[in-house]
Amino acid sequence: MVSRASGLQRAGGILLHPTSLPGSPWIGDLGDAAMHWIEWMETTGCSLWQILPLVPTGFANSPYDGLSAFAGNPMLISLERIADPGIEISTPSAPQRAEKVDFNQVERVKLQSIKRAAEALLTSIDADFKRDYAQFCEQNRSWLDDFALFMVIRNGRQGAAWTTWEKPLKRRDPDALRTFGTQNSRPIEREKVMQFLFFRQWQAVRSTANARGITIIGDLPIFVSHDSADVWAHPELFKLDHDGSPIVVAGVPPDYFSPTGQRWGNPQYRWSIMRERGFEWWVERVRSTLSLVDYIRLDHFRGFVQSWEIPGKAETAERGEWVTVPGKELFQTLKEELGELPFIAEDLGMITPDVHQLRDELGLPGMKVLQFGLEGGEGHEFLPDKYKVHCVAYTGTHDNDTAKNWYLTSSTETKVFTQQTLPGAGPIAWRMIEAIWASKAAWVIAPLQDFLDLGSEGRMNLPGTLADNWTWRAPADSLTTELSKRIKTLNERYNR
């Protein structure tokens, strides 16, 4: 495993979110599927495993639109690994393996079984469970109580957004919350148990990965979902009106690729309040994330310098303004509170010199995406011969098409340039992988889909759309000895 203090040492890695793991029914999980993946990954010689946010997903099942910035996704809990001598876990019948993640089915069947297991654990007589659970609740009290309360209120209203709740609950009237908590103590406690199970199982996965020399790179979106426990519990930290609706929301302005810009809809922070409070919420958020992963990819790093604020009721991102963000002060505080900052800056898109300046002052590596370089043509900064050592290079990210389908759908000009630029012969995906592996970039990462040379069926997310995103799963027979040997040879050839 790479030490946080050692900087980036030459290494190769694979991007694969746990929901995409093969081997388990319904959805990839933190049981045998994760352990088998780690064992297989070790044989490839790759020492970097990059994942997406582990949060409980909300709208459209996106891990970038979570119901909490602190909680874990209970859908990832392995039923088989809920071990307690005092209870019997009932595992529902399931298909041997779902080709894609059916989130509705996961919620109807698997999640209900996890809730029953959590309910049973509440009556457990096992002393170790009681001790560990009590310790977990105490260590995570800053967010756990609010999250559990939020989820029970929300579930009782068929998932309705918190701004539609009864006014006393929406505005967190102390008497109303106290009464609701007393009347619903059992389901609230059950939500906490599920979080305990998630964190316990994930820590077992992380410990196993680290013991085998694998560093886990997590992902921290700069913004949080409006319909989240975070915004409901701390409305004063966000630019909301008297009714809880966002006054301004996040996004990016129009550009060559999007004439109306991108309206993400996340509420904007009240950075003045954040500063007054010593960025306490951010410190706890980063501390919590670093308790789960070894490195953090900071999504939309540009937003720590300036943020594009769009009127809350605007339907597009065309109208807005850049507002200065005290990112330098924030990172200084984070360093004072947490020590070295094991961050990767996602510095893609419309980047201005002040963004690069902050990144370089912090000593953070930026990102290079080969697909963008090949589209840009001769001399583009994302082409492998332009990489500096202190960066992280990718064939593509979770938002890109697979390398194979990207090439098939590219312009004739891009295809010609790609053929002329990439070394070797054979599948384009593997030629792209080899190109970044051979580069100076200290860290190089490719999605598992590119190693498998998959086409459009392997795409994880198509930004701006809702259907079929985040559902991809690796084929059951994909983690072969032949593939691991091929990747290991690549790592050895390029000293990774």
Q: Which residues are catalytic?
A: 299, 346, 399
Asked whether the beta carbons of 342 and 366 are under 8 A apart, the reply is no
Residue type, 259: P
Answer yes or no: are the C-beta atoms of 449 and 402 closer than 8 Å: yes
Here the tokens at position 15 are 């991007």
- Residue 90 gets which letter from DSSP? -
Compute the distance between CA of residue 93 and CA of residue 75 in angstroms, rounded to an integer.
16
Q: Return d(Cα 496, Cα 494) in angstroms, integer.
A: 6
Residue 149: partners with Cβ closer than 8 Å, 6 or more residues away: 177, 180, 181, 188
Long-range contacts of 93-97 (CB under 8 A, 24+ apart): 94/25, 94/26, 95/25, 95/26, 96/25, 97/22, 97/23, 97/24, 97/25, 97/473, 97/476
Q: How far apart are CA 347 and CA 262, in angstroms?
A: 17
Q: What does 288-343 look like in DSSP terms, one character per residue?
A: HHHTT-SEEEETTGGGGTEEEEEETT-SSSSS-EEEE--HHHHHHHHHHHH-S--E
| Alpha-carbon Rg for the chain in angstroms | 23
Provide the token pair at 130: 């009681």
Q: In angstroms, rounded to a whole number, what is the distance separating the alpha carbons of residues 59 and 192?
A: 22
CB of 222 within 8 A of CB of 303? Answer: yes
Q: Which of 78, 54, 61 is nearest to 288 (CA)?
A: 54
- What is d(CA 494, CA 441) in angstroms, rounded to the nearest whole number? 11
